[in-house]
Every structure is written in structure tokens, then in C-alpha cells.
């Protein structure tokens, strides 16, 4: 570029030569006038500068982006907002991007592909810990320093959060938070994006490095590609099984089945040398047909619900392969057996050699969300071995549990004790429920375990749990809760929720990113048919959800009924008027308006914080405010709003518990006396 065509970028930088252009804007080589260093500047598309929401989001991202510090992340030096320019100033990486290297090589060896994927995962793990999602991991955004051969130490992940800057509240999949070939199924179906979604994109990247193409590449529109992400299995690559199992886990349809970034990198690095040293594949052809994994849910315009980056959706839900259970016997199911063969009981004390109990081997599974809600993790019939003392000698006593003797009546599914597990989708407040039940058909007793979880903030009870009868017209089942949990009957005259068989569970706290488990023994007489246990467990979830949705007013069971939070500020504020009164108002499920009576937080209130705030956000620490006025406001202690200068268009951004991206209506700051 000629010298005379150079131009300034803000007051500090000078654009030199254009390095490239992408969907979000242009990348330039630039000079930092303050120290004469050469940097890279990414100028966002001009039409974005006219959108005040994009500009506000751009400013909001600054502190996060500038604060990212990791050797595998291209360092962001500055964000420029001036006139028609929105630009991100970064360190200049001399080299190519991974897309260029892949075009040159065709495919990578398994060892190099795994090293690159681990480097990207390391960078993502650091970003997730800092509260930042990438949202657009692909070879174009992975830079390689230098020329010629390279390794993990040369890999740099770039363009953090840039896709989010142009994100509209409701968009079609063709422009949705990144590139369709790398977007996770949950984004097409549910509109959710989390740290697990970034891991999915790295899975696509690793697949592409091994195969020379992405798993769902092929003819069709962005919606066609999205349909394949949602409903088709990734074509199997001819790589060693341990490597493929890890790739398949990263590409699981359900984000809960993917490990976090750091643990995924650890698993890849644990692959043996013979797997990593397998020969490099030729470029794989596009498949002639796709193998469906389930019926495809409808896709279309969706609202993006971004989950907090520090929520590990895979930490507590990794199903294991079915293995023989630890030996256990039920009363009446043990028969004595004499020693087998010539056994010296005085020397060994054993009549038969029994192998050690094998630890479960975790196997990734791709289970569609609805399937996961309806089916147990594992259903099995266990063989049981019991040690006992018979006739004064230490003998091995072997019992085979068959669900009862031949004279017993029919049992559910014709077997012994049954188990089922159901995982509900997290609620907007971050509240989640996992239920597990172990049912004995002979006694009609269900041992119910309920695990309440929280995501970005601590939550507190009461929590509603409805345990319905098996059949219509039956009485509510008898329930005996564990001694150390406070449970009472749901009182409609108090809660406004008139539902039979409702139980109010009082918990002082469900810790942030943690869980609390309660247990009960429930007497239910299930019919002797397959799936009856799963159906009853599903009815528990559905009955509870229906009861919570039936009451749009009142503040009963707030953590389960909070759908949104409204940030309320005055429409006109004057310089010199002191602090701005800000209120956080709950919006309950099914309600058309926010609840301005039961306020979560009032910035000018005195006295202790509201009990509601403790129940849905862990207390005052769960509230955070930030300036959406480009410096016109002063945020004091993260929860008080002061006025610094006049501004025509202002907003206040707020975080309340699990609600991390709240914005007030636009208001004006008038000059003092004006």
C-alpha cells in the first residue's frame, strides 16, 4: 500500500497494509505510534458501527478481551471506538492461519493434529476460566507463527468473541454466532451456547485436520449442514479406535456428554504412541449417505441463550458402560453351595476363586436430549456373589439374584431391582434437577434420590417436588424423607399452587457450580410392564413442571419459577442528582409483566437484602452492574450507579445470578440545570 493512502485509526494507530478480509471485517497491518511497534488491527464491517447495540456490546467485551493472557491466545492490546471505526488491535503473528496450512498439506498426521487440538483446547480452558467463550473456533481463527514445520508451541487462537459482536437477538442459522460447519447441535435446536459448544468446534477442527474435510461437509445450505449436525452421525474415520472414541465424544450431540476443554486435552494427550504415530490419512471423500442418529428436530430462527463460560455442563453427566455391580444380596435370594473341588479351607478360606470387581470404563454416547430425559443411564440384571459363614467354616456362598423365587408374582419388566435416571434441562435461574430411582418390584419400594444443582450463582429453597400416584384416582404415595432434610407439604393457601402430592423441600443453599442431594423412600405399586419405572419418573418431572408453570404471580419457589429479570431505571437522569435508582424486578414464568412488588434488588434501599435475592442469586454478591454509557456513569462497588456527565443515550448492564447479560431500557442524562 502506498504511503499516501495510509490513514489513522484513532489517535494512536496508523493503518499500513491490508492483510486479509473475512465475514466480520478487514485485517490490517498497523503501526502503534506510541512505541512504533507493528500490530494487527481488525476493522469490523462499517454497517456494524451504526448499530448502537453492537457498539455497546463491543465496549462491554473490552475488559474481558484485553484481560486474556495465555501463550496460546493472540493478545488483544486495545479496542478502538472512534467515528465510523470499530477495531480490535492485536499482536501481529507473522505466519499463516491453519486453513492455509491445511490446504497445503491436505491432512495432518494424528500426532500433529492432536497437538494442534490440545493447544487450542488449552487456550479455550484459560479463556473459559476468565469468563470468555470463543464462539467461532475454526482453522481460519487459528494462527501458526513462522514458516515451515510447526508444533503446538506455534499455535495461537485468535478472534475471541468477535462473532458475538454482530449477534442479533434473533437470527437465522446462516449468520448465527459463527460458521455453520463448526456450530454445535444445541445452537441449531435450542439456541444455547456454552463452553461445551467451543469443545464441539474443536472436535470438528480435529476431525478436519485428520480427514481434510469437516464431518458434515457436503452440498446444501447452512440449514442443511445444521440438520446434519443435529441428526446425523459423523462419518467414522479410519483412525485407531482410542483416537476415534475421543473425537466422537467431542462431537456428542448432547453437550453434557462432552468433557471440559482442559479434561479433553488431557484425554487426547493420554493416547498411546502407537495411536498417535498411525499413518496420515488421505483426504477423505464426502460421504454418499448419512447415518441418522434420531429424528431431526425442527430448526429455524432461534433466540440465543448463552450459558456462563464457567458452567461445566459435562462435569457430572458422563455415562459409563454397563459393568457387573459390586456384590449385593437381597433377603431370601441366597443359597448355600458346597466347596468345589479339592480346596484347603484352612489355607485359603475360599471355596471358589472370584475375580476382582472391574472399574467402569467410560464410553462416550450420543444421546438425544429427549432420549436422555426418558431413559435410565443403565438397566441391568446383576449377578450377586455373597460371602457368609456356614456351619462354623468360612465358605464362599454364591447366590443368584433373579428378582425373586418362582412362586413370586410378576415383577416390573420381569426382573429384580430396577433403576432409572432422569436429567431435567436447566432452568433460566441455573437450577437443575437430576433424579434417580432404584425400585424393588417385590416390596413396591422406590429409593428416590434427587440432586439439585446450581450454575453461576448459589440458590436456596424452598423447592417444589411433586410425587404423583401411578394411576389416576390413586392416593398420593407414602413418602419417607431422610432425617436431615426439612420437607413439608405444599400449602396452596400459602404458595398459590394447588397441586396434590406436592412437597416443599427447604435447603439453605445449593452452592454455585455445585449440588445438594436429598433422598426419600416412596411406596409405589408399578404395573408389571416394561418402561413403567421410567414413565413414573417422567411423570414426577412433568407434574412438578406443570405445577410451577400454573402460577404466574406470587414468589413461591422462586429459583424454579424465575424466567427473567427486568432492569428498571428512570427515563431521564440529571447530572448532579446523585445516584441513579436502579431496581431489578423478577419476571415469573407465564407472567406478562415484571413483578414490581417483590423486588430482587433496589440500589437505594436500606437494610438487609431481600430474601428473594438470596434464593435466586446467592445474595448481594450475585448482583453486578456495569456502565453501558461509554463512561458517563460510575459504578460504585458493582451495585451503585453514579452520574459523571451528560449523555443522550445510556443503558445500565446487569448480572443477577445466572442472568448474565441484562440491559436496561435506554435513558437520557441531562446536564445540570438543563
User: What pLDDT is recorded for position 324?
Assistant: 39
Number of alpha helices (DSSP H) and beta strands (DSSP E) in the chain: 16, 35
Instruction: Check whether 177 has a pLDDT greater than 80.
Output: no
Maximum distance among all alpha carbons in the chain? 105
pLDDT greater at residue 307 or residue 429: 429
- What's the full length of the chain, in residues? 674
3-state secondary structure of 539: helix
Three-point CA angle 248, 250, 253, nearest 5°: 80
- The helix (run of H) or strand (run of E) holding residue 517 is strand 515-523
Residue 464's pLDDT is what? Answer: 95
Q: What is the pLDDT of residue 303?
A: 45
pLDDT of residue 305: 54
Bridge-based pairing state of the strands 85-91 and 142-145: unpaired
Read off the pLDDT of each residue in 641-660 and give the average, rounded to a whole number: 88
Is the pLDDT score of 557 beyond 80?
A: yes
Helix axes 195-211, 98-105, angle to 10 degrees: 30
141-155, 186-200, 350-364, 480-494: segment of lowest average pLDDT = 350-364
pLDDT at 207: 97
User: With 90 as the cut, is the pLDDT of residue 628 above it?
Assistant: no
Mean pLDDT calculated for residue range 526-535: 84
> Residue 403: its pLDDT value, please?
38
**In this prediction, what percent of the chain has a pLDDT beyond 90?**
36
How confident is residue 39, by pLDDT bands cut at 50, 70 and 90?
Answer: very high
Can you give the pLDDT at residue 310?
54
Q: Is residue 71 predicted with pLDDT exceeding 90? A: yes
Binding-site residues for ATP, please? Answer: 42
- The helix/strand/coil state of 459 is strand
What's the per-residue H, E or C state across 163-185? HHHCCCCEECHHHCCCCHHHCCH
| pTM of the predicted model over 0.85 | no
Q: Tens of pLDDT along 243-268?
A: 999 999 999 998 988 999 999 999 99
- The conformation of residue 49, written as its DSSP 8-state character, comes to G
Cα–Cα distance between 151 and 170 in angstroms, integer? 40
Residues tagged active-site = 136
Instruction: Sheet with 601-602: list strands edge to edge.
Output: 562-568, 583-588, 601-602
Banded model confidence at residue 308, pLDDT cuts 50, 70, 90? low
Domains and CATH numbers, the chain: 93-306 (1.10.510.10), 403-551 (2.60.40), 559-670 (2.60.40)
Mean per-residue pLDDT over the chain, rounded: 78
Q: Which of 5-9, 374-378, 506-510 has the highest mean pLDDT?
A: 506-510
pLDDT of the residue at 586: 93
Q: Which of 176-180, 196-200, 216-220, 468-472 is least confident? A: 176-180
At 160, list the grid cell: 475471541
Amino acid at each position: 500500500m502506498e504511503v499516501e493512502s495510509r490513514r489513522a485509526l484513532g489517535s494512536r494507530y496508523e493503518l499500513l497494509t491490508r492483510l486479509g478480509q473475512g465475514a466480520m471485517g478487514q485485517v490490517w497491518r498497523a503501526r502503534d505510534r506510541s512505541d512504533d511497534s507493528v500490530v494487527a488491527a481488525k476493522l469490523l464491517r462499517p454497517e456494524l458501527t451504526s448499530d448502537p447495540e453492537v457498539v455497546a456490546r463491543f465496549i462491554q467485551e473490552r475488559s474481558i478481551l484485553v484481560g486474556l493472557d495465555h501463550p496460546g491466545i493472540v493478545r488483544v492490546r486495545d479496542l478502538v471506538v472512534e467515528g465510523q471505526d470499530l477495531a480490535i488491535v492485536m499482536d501481529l503473528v507473522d505466519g499463516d492461519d491453519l486453513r492455509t496450512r491445511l490446504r497445503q498439506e491436505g491432512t495432518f498426521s494424528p500426532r500433529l493434529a492432536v497437538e494442534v487440538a490440545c493447544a487450542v483446547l488449552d487456550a479455550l480452558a484459560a479463556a473459559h476460566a476468565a469468563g470468555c467463550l470463543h464462539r467461532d473456533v475454526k482453522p481460519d481463527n487459528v494462527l501458526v507463527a513462522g514458516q515451515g514445520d510447526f508444533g503446538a508451541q506455534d499455535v495461537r487462537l485468535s478472534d475471541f468473541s468477535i462473532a458475538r459482536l454482530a449477534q442479533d437477538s434473533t437470527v437465522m442459522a446462516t449468520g448465527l454466532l459463527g460458521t455453520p460447519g463448526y456450530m454445535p447441535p444445541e445452537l441449531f435446536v435450542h439456541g444455547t451456547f456454552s463452553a461445551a459448544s467451543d469443545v464441539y468446534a474443536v472436535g470438528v477442527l480435529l476431525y478436519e485436520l485428520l480427514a481434510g474435510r469437516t464431518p458434515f461437509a457436503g452440498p446444501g445450505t447452512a440449514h442443511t449442514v445444521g440438520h446434519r449436525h443435529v441428526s446425523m452421525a459423523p462419518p467414522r474415520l479410519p483412525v485407531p479406535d482410542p483416537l476415534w472414541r475421543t473425537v466422537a465424544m467431542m462431537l456428542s450431540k448432547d453437550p453434557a456428554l462432552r468433557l471440559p476443554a482442559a479434561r479433553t486435552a488431557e484425554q487426547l494427550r493420554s493416547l498411546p504412541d502407537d495411536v498417535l504415530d498411525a499413518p496420515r490419512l488421505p483426504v477423505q471423500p464426502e460421504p454418499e449417505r448419512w447415518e441418522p442418529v434420531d429424528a431431526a428436530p425442527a430448526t429455524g430462527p432461534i433466540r440465543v441463550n448463552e450459558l456462563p463460560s464457567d458452567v461445566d455442563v459435562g462435569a457430572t453427566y458422563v455415562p459409563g458402560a454397563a459393568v457387573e455391580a459390586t456384590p449385593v444380596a437381597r433377603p431370601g435370594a441366597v443359597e448355600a453351595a458346597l466347596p468345589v473341588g479339592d480346596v484347603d479351607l484352612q489355607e485359603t478360606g475360599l471355596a471358589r476363586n472370584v475375580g476382582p470387581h472391574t472399574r467402569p470404563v467410560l464410553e462416550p454416547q450420543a444421546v438425544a436430549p429427549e432420549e436422555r430425559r426418558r431413559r435410565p443411564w443403565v438397566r441391568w440384571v446383576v449377578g450377586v456373589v455373597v460371602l457368609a459363614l456356614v456351619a462354623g467354616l468360612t465358605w464362599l456362598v454364591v447366590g443368584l439374584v433373579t428378582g425373586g423365587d418362582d412362586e413370586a408374582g410378576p415383577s416390573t419388566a420381569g426382573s429384580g431391582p430396577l433403576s432409572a435416571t432422569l436429567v431435567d434441562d436447566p432452568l433460566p435461574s441455573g437450577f437443575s434437577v437430576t433424579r434417580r430411582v432404584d425400585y424393588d418390584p417385590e416390596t413396591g419400594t422406590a429409593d428416590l434420590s434427587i440432586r439439585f444443582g446450581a450454575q453461576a450463582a448459589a440458590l436456596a429453597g424452598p423447592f417444589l417436588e411433586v410425587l404423583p400416584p401411578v394411576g389416576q384416582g390413586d392416593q398420593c404415595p407414602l413418602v419417607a424423607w431422610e432425617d436431615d432434610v426439612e420437607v413439608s407439604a405444599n400449602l396452596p393457601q400459602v404458595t398459590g399452587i394447588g397441586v396434590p402430592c406436592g412437597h416443599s423441600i427447604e435447603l439453605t443453599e445449593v452452592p454455585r457450580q455445585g449440588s445438594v442431594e436429598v433422598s426419600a423412600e416412596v411406596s409405589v405399586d408399578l404395573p408389571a410392564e416394561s418402561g413403567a419405572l421410567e414413565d413414573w419418573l417422567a411423570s414426577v418431572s412433568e407434574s412438578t413442571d406443570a405445577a410451577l408453570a400454573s402460577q404466574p404471580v406470587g414468589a413461591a419457589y422462586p429459583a424454579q419459577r424465575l424466567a427473567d429479570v427486568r432492569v428498571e431505571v428512570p427515563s431521564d437522569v440529571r447530572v448532579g442528582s446523585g445516584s441513579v435508582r436502579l431496581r431489578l424486578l423478577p419476571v415469573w414464568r407465564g407472567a406478562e409483566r415484571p413483578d414490581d412488588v417483590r423486588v430482587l434488588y433496589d440500589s437505594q434501599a436500606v437494610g438487609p437484602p431481600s430474601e428473594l435475592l438470596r434464593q435466586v442469586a446467592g445474595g448481594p454478591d450475585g448482583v453486578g452492574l456495569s456502565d453501558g454509557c461509554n463512561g458517563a456513569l460510575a459504578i460504585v462497588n458493582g451495585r451503585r450507579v453514579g452520574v459523571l456527565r451528560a449523555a443522550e443515550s445510556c443503558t445500565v448492564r446487569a448480572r443477577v445470578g445466572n442472568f448474565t447479560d441484562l440491559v436496561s431500557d435506554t435513558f437520557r442524562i441531562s446536564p445540570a440545570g438543563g
